[in-house]
Amino acid sequence: MTRETTGAPVRVVQITDTHLFRDPRAALLKLNTQYSFEKVVELMVAKEAGIDLILATGDIAQDASVEAYLRFGDAMQSFQAPFYWIPGNHDRRRVMENLDQYQDAFTNLVSLSNWQVILLDSSVVGEVHGHLSERELVHLENSLQEAQSNLQIDHCLVCLHHNPVPGNATWMEGIGLHNDEAFLAIIDRIKIVRAVMYGHIHQELDFTRNNVRYFCTPSTCIQFKPEVTDFALDEVSPAYRWLNLHADGRIESAIERVTGYEFEVDHSSTGY
């Protein structure tokens, strides 16, 4: 049965890997993450006229502090659009879930127009790598199956923090999603998925695998250099991603980088 939906595309903004600290003066590899975050938010204000949904895909805080999450949430409120977040390896789910001010920000399923967004928690406490628990895999599969039989839903966007495909630098081996095969098997089998979106490896990626678009979005702070053997920082600026989700399943997307500012980082670092 063909469903007809008219109107403008759904405008989604992804912001990821902000790495905020309890102390707004704190720095990550010499870069003040609060400052770079604020510059990305200013860019969003200048560029985005009407956001339908903001998705924050993990590592909101570097130290999992209440203060960092509250500052992030307060900044997002200025856009008058719903925002939802998922934890990354530096976050703590329990802290995020228990913030009275932002109880609505922690959800795992969002519907807009004829699109459904599925949010997954790939974080593992105390580990850099990701893993989707049996509960998360069941949530993914059940949500996709239900969407496929729902006459109001035509397309799905799946979001998680960790990269479900290998990173493009040798040192990234082992830090991505460890049960990627189980995740990809579900994505490949249930044909309603149009895109998978993630962060974690602080880079811009946009590629197609088995007819599904995969998007990785740069951090709002430090960036990881691609195609290197050892850990290295890139010189490109912080950014966010926008997506236009069309009713027919098409996706337009690009990143917007901060310009006109110098961001000092520690290029001698061998990790963080």
Q: Residue 232 is part of a domain; what is its CATH number?
A: 3.60.21.10
Q: What is the pTM of this model?
A: 0.95
- Domain that includes residue 167, residue range: 10-257
With the C-alpha atoms ordered 89, 95, 96, 97, is the resulting torsion angle positive or negative? positive
With the C-alpha atoms ordered 173, 176, 179, 183, is the resulting torsion angle positive or negative? negative
Predicted local distance difference test score (pLDDT) of residue 266: 81
Predicted local distance difference test score (pLDDT) of residue 168: 93
In a domain, 262, yes or no: no
In a domain, 271, yes or no: no
In whole angstroms, give the CA distance from residue 194 to residue 202.
22
Predicted local distance difference test score (pLDDT) of residue 3: 31
Predicted local distance difference test score (pLDDT) of residue 262: 85
In whole angstroms, give the CA distance from residue 139 to residue 134.
8
One digit per residue, the tens of pLDDT, for the chain of length 272 reads 233 444 899 999 999 999 999 999 999 999 999 999 999 999 999 999 999 999 999 999 999 999 999 999 999 998 989 999 999 999 999 999 999 999 999 999 999 999 999 999 999 999 999 999 999 999 999 999 999 999 999 999 999 999 999 999 999 999 999 999 999 999 999 999 999 999 999 999 999 999 999 999 999 999 999 999 999 999 999 999 999 999 999 999 999 999 998 888 888 888 78
Predicted local distance difference test score (pLDDT) of residue 239: 98
Kindly give, in sequence order, each residue whose CB lies less than 8 Å from that of residue 81, ignoring residues fewer than 6 positions away.
13, 51, 52, 53, 54
The whole-angstrom distance between residue 207's C-alpha and the CA centroid of its chain comes to 16
In a domain, 3, yes or no: no
Predicted local distance difference test score (pLDDT) of residue 4: 42
In whole angstroms, give the CA distance from residue 242 to residue 41.
13
In a domain, 235, yes or no: yes
**Residue 54 near residue 13, CB atoms below 8 Å:** yes
In a domain, 267, yes or no: no
Predicted local distance difference test score (pLDDT) of residue 2: 31
In a domain, 2, yes or no: no
Q: Indicate the number of domains in the chain.
A: 1
β-pairing, 239-245 with 83-85?
unpaired
In a domain, 119, yes or no: yes
In a domain, 245, yes or no: yes
